[in-house]
């Protein structure tokens, strides 16, 4: 698995991690929306051959969750 995904799975100050069968979700931590939105955009920019990313809108122009699905060979 690419280092970027391994690092994301650890969690951080702006998000929590929820493992699911198809990959994992990252969820925003309340009060940390700006940092989470920046991270969500970075995750989407880096998506490609190693993983797919599916963000969920918070209804206010940002995101509240991103579903990350690693490529099976990663």
Per-residue confidence (pLDDT) for residue 53, from 0 to 100: 97
pTM of the model: 0.90
68-to-18, 31, 58, 65 alpha-carbon distances in Å: 10, 22, 17, 10
How far apart, in whole angstroms, are the C-alpha atoms of residue 45 and residue 53? 9
pLDDT one digit per residue (tens) for the chain, 74 residues: 678 899 999 999 999 999 999 999 999 999 999 999 999 999 999 999 999 999 999 999 999 999 999 988 75
How far apart, in whole angstroms, are the C-alpha atoms of residue 62 and residue 72? 29
Per-residue confidence (pLDDT) for residue 74, from 0 to 100: 53
Per-residue confidence (pLDDT) for residue 45, from 0 to 100: 95
Per-residue confidence (pLDDT) for residue 72, from 0 to 100: 81
Number of residues that this document lists for the chain: 74
Give me the residue spans of the domains in the chain: 3-70
């Amino acid at each position: 698995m690419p280092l970027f995904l391994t690092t994301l799975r650890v969690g951080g100050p702006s998000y929590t991690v929820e493992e699911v069968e198809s990959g994992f979700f990252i969820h925003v931590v309340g009060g940390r929306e700006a940092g989470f939105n920046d991270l969500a955009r970075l995750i989407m920019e880096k998506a490609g051959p190693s993983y797919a990313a599916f963000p969920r809108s918070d209804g206010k122009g940002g995101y509240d969750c991103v579903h990350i699905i690693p490529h099976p060979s990663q």
